Amino acid sequence: LEDIDADSEISLLARDTAGGVLGGTLYATVAAIDRITEDIRASLAVDVDCVLTGGDAAALRPLLAGDYRYEPDLLLKGLAIIAGDEA
């Protein structure tokens, strides 16, 4: 997503091929995340906390239907703990 113009609109009804590919890819990813999360919760029969992290998490977050905690620096926080510098 870093190559996409910051002003690009994410839409299912895009006006060009690039917008269609972007929108379709994002919505497919969001649908998969929401579905897998729902299936895990149903399988475990408990409400689980879900953490959203990674390079494109900020772009996916507003499209998700589920409740996700956003942790943009999760990997770095984990490395700091391993290194003994609990920040």
Q: What is the pLDDT of residues 31-61, one digit of tens each?
A: 999 999 999 999 999 888 999 998 889 888 9
Give buried/exposed letters for 22-52 (b at 16+ CB in 10 A, else e).
bbeebeeebeebbeebeeeeeeeeeeeebeb
Instruction: Give yes or no for a contact between 71 and 58, defined as CB atoms under 8 angstroms apart.
Output: no
Compute the average pLDDT of residues 3-27: 76
Distance CA 75, CA 32 (A): 23
Summarize the confidence of residues 11-23 as an average pLDDT. Answer: 83
The Cβ of residue 60 has, within 10 Å, a number of other Cβ atoms equal to 19
User: Which position has the higher pLDDT, 44 or 9?
Assistant: 44
CA distance 80 to 74: 10
